[in-house]
Amino acid sequence: MEPRTPSETAVTLTQVMNPEHANPLGNVHGGWILKLIDEAGSIVASRHARHPAVTVEIDSVSFREPVYVGNLVHVQARIVRAWRTSMEVEAIVEAEDPLTGERRITSHAYLVYVALDRAGRPTPVPPVQPETEEEWRKWHEAEQRRAERLARRERERLSSR
């Protein structure tokens, strides 16, 4: 399989936040932001694999600042690394005040997806070919996050016996 670069499959989803996305104080629900993060990540993973991809884990997510009704939310997602059948995707969320143009990063997440074949079984995915120093740094750091995820799963498996 030919490697793909992060820029080949990167996406940005943009949506205006309306009252139905928020609590009575006008703050957008974290669950709504997670939904947008997962949608963007799923698109990236499916484009990279050229197969359907399912969410295995939302590895970490931070909510640094609130998002308000009326803000535009931009979710930028890109592939970080791929292994045999799994892929790590990074998502960065920005809120924009459409009246001033001010943008601020509000959330950051890493997600893991697995590509599936027509029978619904995990299927191999192409490698990621980083292009920039930052992409190479994140590519290397992904291996540490993967090791931590696998160790956590093993601890959970052992503790459930």
pLDDT per residue over 12-30, tens digit each?
A: 999 999 999 999 999 999 9
pTM > 0.75: yes or no: yes
Euclidean distance between CA atoms 110 and 61, whole angstroms: 7
pLDDT at 153 over 90: no
Does any domain span residue 105? yes
Task: Give dist(CA 61, CA 140) in Å, integer.
Answer: 19
Split at pLDDT 50, 70, 90, the class of 51 is very high
Q: What is the pLDDT of residue 1?
A: 86
Q: pLDDT tens digit string along 57-108?
A: 998 788 999 999 999 999 999 999 999 999 999 999 999 999 999 999 999 9
Question: Can you tell me the distance from the alpha carbon of 64 to that of 118, in angstroms, rounded to the nearest whole number?
Answer: 39
Q: Classify 78 as helix, strand or coil.
A: strand
Domain hosting 139: range is 6-159
pLDDT in tens, 105-140: 999 999 999 999 999 999 999 999 999 999 999 999
Compute CA distances 73 → 1, 12, 33, 89, 154, whole Å: 35, 10, 9, 18, 36
Residue 161: is its pLDDT beyond 90? Answer: no
CATH number assigned to the domain comprising residue 62: 3.10.129.10
In order of 5, 48, 96, 110, 116, the CA distances from 88 in angstroms are 13, 11, 26, 7, 15
Establish if 20 belongs to a structural domain.
yes
Split into its structural domains, the chain has a count of 1
Q: Is the pLDDT of residue 5 over 90?
A: yes
Cα 135 to Cα 81, 108, 120, 125, distances in angstroms: 9, 16, 30, 18
Tokens standing for residue 138:
């994140």
**Residue 1 domain-assigned (yes or no):** no
